[in-house]
Amino acid sequence: MDKDVSSQDVSTQDDVEVGDDLLIDIVLDENGDVIGAISDEVIVATSSKGSVVDEIIDVLDADGNLVVEDEKITVYDADANIVAQTEEIRIPLEG
């Protein structure tokens, strides 16, 4: 017997709250000229069952081109213990 999934009650789902924080630092040389920027973005999704934190750090040159990106995702259980963690560093290749 097939069951219509779209008619199921979804009100029992856990409430999830999401927050986002972005910090950008401009890097200057000794003459005060812009030589780059560092952006640090943290996105957090949390519920009573735990949290997921995604942190993305981008290093940009003076023209705004991406030099390197570091992304770390961490999963926490309800007691704030780390359940899983992954990190990826990306360096764009020039075409």
Mean pLDDT by 10 residues, the chain (95 residues): 41 78 97 97 96 98 96 97 97 79
Inside any domain, residue 52: yes
Inside any domain, residue 30: yes
For residue 31, give both structure tokens. Answer: 């003459």
Inside any domain, residue 70: yes
Inside any domain, residue 24: yes
Residues 36, 64: Cα–Cα separation, whole Å: 7
Q: Nearest Cα to 62, choosing from 33, 28, 36, 87? A: 36
Q: What is the pLDDT of residue 12?
A: 45
Q: Which residues contact 9 (CB under 8 A, 6 or more apart)?
A: none
Inside any domain, residue 45: yes
Q: Nearest Cα to 46, choosing from 78, 1, 24, 94? A: 78
Tell me the three state secondary structure of residue 43: strand
Q: What is the pLDDT of residue 44?
A: 97
User: What's the total number of domains in the chain?
Assistant: 1
The DSSP secondary-structure symbol of 29 reads -
Residues 48, 41: Cα–Cα separation, whole Å: 23
Inside any domain, residue 31: yes
pTM above the 0.75 mark? Answer: yes
Domain that holds residue 83: 14-90
